[in-house]
Structure 1
Amino acid sequence: MQEFWQFAGDYWWLIFPLMGVFGGAGKAWQRNARDRHQRRLEVLRAKAEIASAHAEARAARHRPFVSAAPVERPAAEQLHALFDAQDAVTARWLEYELDVAKLIAFPAMSDGRQPLTAAFLRAKKVADRLRPASAKVRIGREQLDEYRNAVTDYEVAFDVAERDARRLKDSTFTQAERKRLDTAKQLLTVAVDEAATPAERQLAYKRVREELDGLLSLSDGAIEVLEQKVALELPAGDDRG
């Protein structure tokens, strides 16, 4: 060991050229490693492109022939489909609008002050306004496209408003207001309970209206449906507002 250190002390100047040799060898090894890695990547990309080409070829063999200019459906057929789509959204909306229990559970769906509900109601007005009187009317392409876009906006606006209402539930109300909503929900169960006496059901119905007064705006249709469920006739002069 002593001889090694004596040699190193006598020939210390060899360290610098040796460092250059070793450094060059290290750089060469790094370059070779990078080249090997690059070649592997190129092989993988080539294999992926080949596999994609094979898959496309297989799909092309099984793909049905489509003419360069597809035949557009008649306007009447398109209108029928759009009418069905619009009516489906309206039916979903009426499930909230006419069901007091749902309105209590998700009050934002009847609250036009909520931005997303307001946007949905605006989209509904536009779709209703642009809806042709029937599928038999003569309609231009521009008018048809405008109505189609309105129906799409109507569908999307309802979906967004519904998700938001289900997320919010009664969180926008104060604690006292939430308590009133909960009381109304319990009374509503009694009002439509066939096992309850007519007097109990009528009293519960009136209490429901009182608890919801100033909290939720019930449409005439919702009141009518509720009255049918309660199976009673309101006294003459009863305020439906």
Structure 2
Amino acid sequence: MESLFDFLSDKWWLVFPMSALAGHWANSWRKAGDRRHQRKVELYKLRNQVHAAEKASVADVESLMAAHGATNKRWLEYELDVGKLIDFPLMTDVREPLTVAFLRAKREADGLRPPSAADMTAPSRVEAYRKAVDDFSVALDVAEREARRLKDSKFTGPERERLATARQLLKIAEDHAATPAERQAAYKRARRELDGLIVLPDVALAALEDKISPMIEPAVRPWDPQHR
């Protein structure tokens, strides 16, 4: 023990470099701890950013799906309303380039629509869907404006008279004050007047028939396949 003290008494000057070394080691340890803490903070922030980005992506797709649904609803107002189609026949006239363009844009948007917003996470798919929805909305706007501008002006005088007659007959067919026989006769005549003039989608006819059918029972429905 005395020899150790004798050694230290002779080497007292080593205290200073050893203290410096210890201080340097402690400082390095502290800096390493700071770097580990900083990396943890950065990783936490990165995870939060990724999570926020995923949430934003889902919200973005939900917004696109809502816009898509609103445009489809606008189209259905024509497709399900025979009266509107008589007033604006170009909306179902596939000879019209603008009508073809919006129907093509609709198919494109419908084909890209995901089952749910969470099913579409790839940015490229989101952007493709966004473009398709925008194209569909714009194409419908253009076709609608043209259809409302032209109305039935592309038809001849006699054809416009037939359209006007069909419009009046459909009002009778939908009139609850009319008798079942009157409504049935009006519907059959309206179909004859429209035959060859405008294309009535099956869904439009089904919607019309569902609307007037309760009032013409138990009479035979004019659209019954057994009585056509």
Unaligned 5+ segments in structure 2 are 1-48
1-structure distance, mates of 2:180, 2:97: 41
SS in 1 for 2:152: coil
The CA deviation at 1:237 is: 2.5
Please name the residue that 1:108 is paired with: 90
The CA deviation at 1:124 is: 0.3
The CA deviation at 1:175 is: 1.2
Closer, same or farther: CA 230–166 of 1 in aligned 2, 3 Å: same
User: Among the aligned pairs, what percent are the same residue?
Assistant: 54
Please name the residue that 1:18 is paired with: none
1-structure distance, mates of 2:207, 2:92: 16
Give the alignment of 1:126-145 within 5 angstroms. Answer: 126-145=108-127
1-structure distance, mates of 2:62, 2:158: 48
Closer, same or farther: CA 118–90 of 1 in aligned 2, 3 Å: same
Please name the residue that 1:147 is paired with: 129
**Worse overlay, 103-112 or 224-233:** 224-233
Closer, same or farther: CA 220–138 of 1 in aligned 2, 3 Å: closer
The CA deviation at 1:138 is: 4.4
Which of 197, 212, 224 pairs up with 1:235? 224
Closer, same or farther: CA 117–238 of 1 in aligned 2, 3 Å: farther
1-structure distance, mates of 2:124, 2:197: 43
Closer, same or farther: CA 196–78 of 1 in aligned 2, 3 Å: same
**Number of equivalent positions:** 170
The CA deviation at 1:177 is: 1.0
Closer, same or farther: CA 203–214 of 1 in aligned 2, 3 Å: same
Q: Which runs of 4+ in 1 moved over 6 A?
A: none
SS in 2 for 1:74: helix
Closer, same or farther: CA 150–77 of 1 in aligned 2, 3 Å: same
2-structure distance, mates of 1:164, 1:238: 39
2-structure distance, mates of 1:202, 1:157: 38
| Conserved 8 A contact 2:120-2:126 | no
The CA deviation at 1:150 is: 0.6
2-structure distance, mates of 1:99, 1:181: 15
The CA deviation at 1:127 is: 0.5
Please name the residue that 1:189 is paired with: 171
Give the alignment of 1:25-174 within 5 angstroms. Answer: 74-174=56-156
SS in 1 for 2:155: coil
The CA deviation at 1:235 is: 3.3
1-structure distance, mates of 2:63, 2:161: 44
**Which has the larger helix fraction?**
2
SS in 2 for 1:193: coil
